[in-house]
Amino acid sequence: DAKTTQPNSMESNEEEPVHLPCNHSTISGTDYIHWYRQLPSQGPEYVIHGLTSNVNNRMASLAIAEDRKSSTLILHRATLRDAAVYYCIQVDYGGSQGNLIFGKGTKLSVKP
Amino acid sequence: NAGVTQTPKFRILKIGQSMTLQCAQDMNHNYMYWYRQDPGMGLKLIYYSVGAGITDKGEVPNGYNVSRSTTEDFPLRLELAAPSQTSVYFCASSYLFYYLGTGGFYGNQPQHFGDGTRLSIL
């Protein structure tokens, strides 16, 4: 079963920032937090990942709480193309060799 | 680059038929994966492979078989199709490496997914 909890759905307006929350209260010291998204009728697409400190890339930013029990994916300016299901995944690089365990994710709707 | 290529994109099978879903990657990744996704749900891992000749079961392996004779290809076989196997199947690949040192741990690059095979069994 998935080790993270996310809201089922969120709405955003186009060109506004979006903050997608994720709880991972059972995270251990070597577990990473990965985010993937799945556009309609496509396979999942990698967004970002991090361990302890905040991370930025061209797609998004990842803010990880100091106790690492929660994180937030930040889309700085939502576009219609960002409408997708976003998965927050706690990845165990030790015993499970980094296998991904997907939950249901958060379905993001973007209004024009 | 083609990335991860899955064929066919769509298929309808009758109960009891067999088929092979094809997956190929051109990124020289060592790890490959098969997932299934039922409507409204997240992906579930069926099988994965750490390299040519080595495969292992995931969360939902029953009813499926895999083989990995080359780095590039990772076919998924359904021997006796059942309605419960109606799903969308995704193949993925990644490069995973092992850090030596205290405790040792794996680091990897993100998984790259194909566009999926939509399979209906009637």
Length of chain A equals 112
Residue A18's pLDDT is 97
- Give the residue with greater pLDDT, B88 vs B41: B88
Residue B98's pLDDT is 66
Residue A2's pLDDT is 80
Q: Which of B31, B42, B90 sits opposite A87 (nearest CB)?
A: B42
Q: Which residue ranges in chain A fall short of pLDDT 50?
A: none
Identify whether the C-beta of residue B3 lies closer than 8 Å to the C-beta of residue B27. yes
CA dist., res. A88 & res. A35, Å (int): 5
pLDDT single digits (tens) A21-43: 999 998 887 788 999 999 999 99
CA dist., res. B116 & res. A47, Å (int): 19
Residue A28's pLDDT is 84
Top-ranked range on mean pLDDT: pick from A27-36, A43-52, B65-74, B96-105: B65-74
Phi-psi region of B50 (alpha: psi -120 to 50; beta: other; left: phi over 0): alpha
Shortest distance, CA B111 to any CA of chain A (angstroms): 7
Q: Which amino acid is at A69?
A: K
CA dist., res. B44 & res. B87, Å (int): 11
CA dist., res. A58 & res. A76, Å (int): 10
Shortest distance, CA A63 to any CA of chain B (angstroms): 19
Q: A100 in contact with B at a CB cutoff of 8 Å?
A: yes
| Chain B residues in contact with A93 (beta carbon < 8 A) | 105-108
Residue indicated by tokens 């076919």: B75
Whether B101 shows a pLDDT value over 60: the answer reads no
Residue A52's pLDDT is 85
Whether B18 shows a pLDDT value over 90: the answer reads yes
Contact check, Cβ <8 Å, B108/A98: yes
- Read off the pLDDT band of B122 (50, 70, 90): very high
Kindly provide the residue ranges of all beta strands, DSSP E only, lying in chain B, ordered along the sequence. Answer: 4-7, 10-13, 19-25, 31-37, 43-51, 54-57, 64-66, 76-78, 87-94, 96-99, 105-108, 112-113, 117-121
**DSSP-derived secondary structure letter, B82:** -
Residue A95's pLDDT is 60
Whether B99 shows a pLDDT value over 80: the answer reads no
- Give the residue with greater pLDDT, B15 vs A93: B15
